[in-house]
Amino acid sequence: MKAGTIELLQTPLRLASGASTNFALGWKVERVQLNGASARMVAHRATPMGGTTALLMFPDQRLVIAAISNVSDAEGVAPFGVKVAEVFARPTREPRAK
């Protein structure tokens, strides 16, 4: 896909009032903490019969995590995925002194 198409699919929709829905065509867009820094996460969570899944994408980190449980409505699958992402996330850089 073209970068512009991906960006469009991951951009939250806006209400007539201008407020963000935090949802973009099936994806929830939110900010989470990765190694103490705010990171954009585009995610889809599901609870199919017999399992719980979370697909977590961190576009600015170029990182994707899939976390899956074989328990229906399992709690903690997405937070576990965020913890895994912290292991692989690039460290944030301190601003350069002038």
- pTM of this structure: 0.77
Cα angle value 76/82/86 (rounded, 5°) = 140
For residue range 25-47, list pLDDT tens digits in order. Answer: 878 999 999 999 999 999 999 98
pLDDT digits (tens, 9 = 90+) for 82-97: 999 999 997 765 445 5
Written as one string, the DSSP assignment of 23-48 is: EETTEEEEEEEETTEEEEEEEEEE--
Query: Quick one: DSSP state of residue 57?
Result: E
